Amino acid sequence: MSHPSLWSLLAFTVWTLLIVLLGIGAPRIAAVLARQAPPKSFAADVPHGSDRYRRTMRAHVNCVENLPVFAVLVLLSRVTRLESSVFEALAVAVTPARLLQTSVHIASGTNRAVLVRFWFFIVQLVCFFGMALLLALGD
């Protein structure tokens, strides 16, 4: 993979998988194995777990919602053979912003944390729109 945007997409994907595996799956498996919860006790429409656990679930959903958008943009750049250092820079900026947004989301639910993670989300949106514009312009 010679394009940094592809590496960024891979990193975003792995991050999304790690959040579900370590942040959601591991605590659920541990609770079932320790007989603290039956396997069927994790219904998505019923709040369960600590505040941090629930924030982790929401942060994972946020990743899942944004990953397809990012993937489409990066893959379109490859299909159209777009060669743009600006596009690549925008794509590379997405993943650290996503990692920081997710980390802040999981770490705290305070008003300050919500504002901080919102700004990391804005960075991603600006990158997405910039990437889309570059694709539309073919430059």
pLDDT tens by residue, 42-99:
777 777 778 898 899 999 999 999 999 999 999 999 999 999 999 999 999 999 999 9
What pTM value is reported for the model? Answer: 0.90
In this prediction, residue 139 carries a pLDDT of 60
pLDDT tens string 3-18: 999 999 999 999 999 9
Name the pLDDT band for 105 (thresholds 50, 70, 90): very high
Give me 112's structure tokens: 């300050």
- CA pair distance 24, 31, nearest whole angstrom: 11
Burial class (CB in 10 A: 0-12, 13-18, 19+), 59: buried
In this prediction, residue 108 carries a pLDDT of 95
pLDDT tens string 25-41: 788 787 777 888 777 77
Task: Sketch the domain layout of the chain as residue ranges.
Answer: 4-137
Which option is the CATH number for 4-137: 1.10.760.10, 3.20.20.140, 3.40.50.720, 1.20.120.550? Answer: 1.20.120.550
